[in-house]
Amino acid sequence: MKTAGHLAKHPTVLDSSTSEPSMFLLNSLSRFTRSARHKNAQNNGSSSNLSVSSHSSKKSSTTSSTHGNHAQRKQTPLYLRQPFISTHLVKGNFSTIVSLPRYIDRNEWLAINVYELFTYLNHFYDVFAAFCTVQTCPTMSAAPGIDYTWLDSNRKPLRLPAPQYIEYVMAWIENRLRDQSIFPTKAGVPFPSNFEAIVKAIYKQLFRIFVHIYNYHYPEILHVSLEAHWNSFFAHFIAFGKEFGLLDPRDTGPLKKLIDVLEFQGNI
C-alpha cells in the first residue's frame, strides 16, 4: 500500500532520537515485505459482494459481535508463553521515548507517530497477508466468540473476512492521513479541533489489527522469527497510546493479559 508523504513534511520531528527503534524495525522488516496483501484483497473482493473500491463509502465500526467462526482456543496463547513473551528487539522501557519532546507541538507529535505506526503495521501485515485469507479468517475475529464488524454507509454492521476488514481499515486511515484538513502539512495550517478524537479512532482500528495478528497469526510470526520485532513494535504502540490516552480500556480487553505482562516486565 502506498502511503502519504507525511514523513517528509515533518523533518524536525523525524530528526529526533525517538525514531531510532522504529526505523530499525522497518529496516529489518524490509526483507520480508511483499505485495501479497493487495493480491489477496483483490481475490477476496471478487469472492464476495463487497469490493475494495467501495472503501470511501464505508466507515469504521465501533461495535463488535459475539459470533466468531474461529474454533475455541482454551490453551494459553503462544504469545503469552515463555520464551516468546520475554523476547524483545528493543530493550528498556518505551515510555522514555514516546513522551512529547520539548519544543514539539503535541498535535505534530501525534501526527508523525500515528503515521509511522500505521506505516510499520502496514509492512508487518504484508508479511502475513498470504496467511490471512477468506478461508483462514472468514471474520475479523479478535478472539474466540468476538468478531469486529464494519459499518457500511447506512451504519449497518457488516461481518467481513479479516483481510477485507483490514484492507478497509488501512484505506480508511490512509484517506485521513492524506486529508489536509485533518493532517495539515503546510506551515500555519491548524489541526482540526477534533484532531485527537480522530487520532483515537485511528488508534482503535490499528489496535484491532494487532489483536487479530496476535490471536490468529502468531505462529506465522514465529515461523519467520519476527517475534522480537513484533513484540517491541506492539510495546511501542501501547506505550505511545498510554502516554497520550489514545486507547480506551474497554477496547483493549482482548490483549489485556499481554499488556499487563509488558507493564510487569518494564517494557511499557
* Site residues for Zn ion per CB under 5 A: 132, 137, 162, 216
| Closer Cβ to Zn ion, 47 or 181, answer by number | 47
| Closer Cβ to Zn ion, 216 or 237, answer by number | 216
Query: How far apart are CB 212 and Zn ion at their closest, in Å?
Result: 6
In the chain, the largest separation of any two C-alpha atoms, in whole Å, equals 54
| Closer Cβ to Zn ion, 94 or 214, answer by number | 214
Residue the block writes with cell 515461523: 223
Query: How far apart are CB 19 and Zn ion at their closest, in Å?
Result: 29
What the block records as the C-alpha cell of 115 is 503515521
| Closer Cβ to Zn ion, 128 or 244, answer by number | 128
Q: Name the residue among 145, 204, 144 with its Cα closest to residue 169.
A: 204
Helix (H, G, I), strand (E, B) or coil at 175: helix
Binding residues for Zn(2+): 132, 137, 212, 217
* DSSP of 189-231: PPPPTTHHHHHHHHHHHHHHHHHHHHHHSHHHHHHTT-HHHHH
What the block records as the C-alpha cell of 58 is 464505508
Query: How far apart are CB 128 and Zn ion at their closest, in Å?
Result: 7
What is the rounded CA–CA span in Å between residue 138 and residue 224?
A: 24
What is the rounded CA–CA span in Å between residue 202 and residue 183?
A: 12
What the block records as the C-alpha cell of 67 is 459470533
| Closer Cβ to Zn ion, 127 or 132, answer by number | 132
Query: How far apart are CB 140 and Zn ion at their closest, in Å?
Result: 8
Centre a 10 Å sphere on the Cβ of residue 196 and count the other Cβ atoms it contains: 16
Q: Which residues pair with 158 in a beta bridge?
A: 150
Query: How far apart are CB 232 and Zn ion at their closest, in Å?
Result: 22
What is the rounded CA–CA span in Å between residue 122 and residue 135?
A: 21
| Closer Cβ to Zn ion, 162 or 247, answer by number | 162
